Each structure stands twice: as structure tokens, then as C-alpha cells.
Amino acid sequence: MATSIDSSKLSHMIKSKRGKEGLRAAAKDIGISAPTLSRIEQGNLPDIDTYVKICEWLKVSSDYFTKGSADHDTQDLIVTSLRADKTLASETVDSLVNFINLAYNQVKDKNRQE
């Protein structure tokens, strides 16, 4: 089955995490240029190296934005909601996202073994 990256979901999550942080500052944190980040936020797909850097910055697996995988729907909703919640400290959000990703990965691993 062919898969592709959901650029809209990627863009939304980047914008959500970046919040009020400037484009240049966020790009520097990620390790990419500001124009590249701007293009991705506008819905353009990044090259693979940039994509991996962004996934690491967002603290999600590289298959997180893959279209056609229903397994990610609930996980995506939870993570996106946490990232958008401005009442939580970023460290708390990162910890919760890591926990959620771990839980979903354990379920996937268990399902593969069955």
C-alpha cells in the first residue's frame, strides 16, 4: 500500500508547537532555515532530512503523519490537542506526548506479534 505524508496535519502541528515563537527561532531550534519552515507551514512537503528533523523536534515518530493509517486518528487528536493547549507547560506536554506515543507503540508492537 502506498503511503504519503499529510502535509496539512504536519503544518498544523508545527504551527501549534511553535505558538507565538518566531519563525526564525523555531527554524533554528529544528535546525533548518526559516524559509524552509515557512514553506512547510504553508503545506509544502519537506525533503526527508528536514522531515526527520521536524519529527524529532515535534517528538513524534516519522510515520506519525502518514496518510491512510486509521491507527493514528485518536493518537493524532490527543497529541494535537495537547500541543495546542497553552495552559500546560511545554515540558508537561512533551512528557504526556512521549507517554501517549509509547502507549500506542506498545499496542502496535503487540498487534504485530499476534
Q: What is the pLDDT of residues 51-67, one digit of tens each?
A: 999 999 998 888 888 87
List phi, psi (to 5°) of 66. -70, 130
Q: Is 35 helix (H, G, I), strand (E, B) or coil?
A: helix
User: What digits encode the pLDDT tens for the residues 79-102?
Assistant: 888 887 888 898 998 899 889 988
**Contacts with 108 (C-beta within 8 Å, 6 or more apart), sequence order:** 71
Percent pLDDT > 90 in the chain is: 39
Q: Using alpha carbons only, give the angle 88, 91, 93 rounded to the nearest 5 degrees.
A: 50
pLDDT mean across residues, the chain: 86
Higher-scoring residue by pLDDT: 59, 46: 46
Query: Are 33 and 59 a contacting pair, CB within 8 Å?
Result: no
Q: Report pLDDT for 41.
A: 95
CA separation for the pair 92, 111 (Å, rounded): 29
**First-last CA distance in the chain:** 21
CA separation for the pair 14, 16 (Å, rounded): 5
